[in-house]
Amino acid sequence: QVQLVQSGAEVRKPGASVKVSCKASGYTFRDFGISWVRQAPGQGLEWMGWISAYNGHTNYAQTLQDRVTLTTDTSTSTAYMELRSLRSDDTAFYYCARDRMTVLVGSHFDYWGQGTLITVSS
Amino acid sequence: DVVMTQSPLSLPVTLGQPASISCRSSQGLIYIDGNTYLIWFQQRPGQSPRRLFYKVSNRDSGVPDRFSAYGSGSDFTLKISRVEAEDVGVYYCMQGTHWPPTFGQGTRLEIK
């Protein structure tokens, strides 16, 4: 069965960076992409960016594109999200979700990771 | 960006009664491939979002048939025919047609 398993909770100070992993299993990793979505405590869902596991193409939310980098390691079927220059309002649950392979089709978001809580506090 | 507007934002429902959530998009959602990438999610307390429907009305595996979804153009609806206790949570619509993908604000369903 399809599973996305994310790395554990992290605490960072303002200005630091964090890298979250999302290990996929149960499907051919390169046949899909991964989107990252975050959710601040008690708030709604915010799309952060997408990466194709097929060709590495990316697309980022305009509000985050200067601070976020998405990568994949096809040898381990793992996607990564790095967020830099952390601020207190980056405190949120971060989710990976299986998504489209290319921009030629629409979004899937059919399977989600369990979420990773990132806390930014001095 | 395409704005997704849900209503109501809070939905108190008596067990066994129906419930309906509206989702409107600021632009039409038909993609170049002819599909409409409108997705509904359920997020139970303390859990990750779970996809319920994709491409407007296609029910995901394991979703009870008391849930239904329909719509076209820029007007979409999620219906629950008889609410059960396990339906408590927040429901989101999302468009995956235009970049960037955007979510509605969420509708919180609670038992009255």
Q: What is the pLDDT of residues B50-88, one digit of tens each?
A: 999 999 999 999 999 999 999 999 999 999 999 999 999
Q: What angle do CA A105, A109, A114 make, to 5 degrees?
A: 155
User: How high is the pLDDT of residue A38?
Assistant: 98
User: How high is the pLDDT of residue A49?
Assistant: 97
Q: Give burial (CB, 10 Å; 0-12/13-18/19+) of A7.
A: middle
Give residue-wise pLDDT tens across range A66-96.
999 999 999 999 999 999 999 999 999 999 9
SS3 B86: helix
Using 70 as the pLDDT threshold, list the residues of chain A that sit under it: none
Interatomic CA distance for residues A18 and A69, integer angstroms: 11
User: Which of chain B's residues have a Cβ under 8 Å away from the Cβ of A107?
Assistant: 37, 39, 94, 96-97, 101
Here the tokens at position A62 are 């305009």
Interatomic CA distance for residues A24 and A97, integer angstroms: 10
**Amino acid of residue B19:** A
Interatomic CA distance for residues A96 and A86, integer angstroms: 19
Which candidate from B32, B51, B105 shows the least CB-CB separation from A44? B105
Here the tokens at position A17 are 């960076």
CB atoms within 10 A of CB B95: 29
Question: Does residue A115 sit at the B interface (CB-CB below 8 Å)?
Answer: yes
Q: Is the Cβ pair A47, B31 closer than 8 Å?
A: no
Please choose, from the candidates B56, B58, B67, B62, the residue with its C-alpha nearest in 3D space to the C-alpha of residue B23. B56
Give residue-wise pLDDT tens across range B20-33.
999 999 999 999 88
User: Which of chain B's residues have a Cβ under 8 Å away from the Cβ of A95?
Assistant: 48-49
- Residue range B93-100: average pLDDT? 95
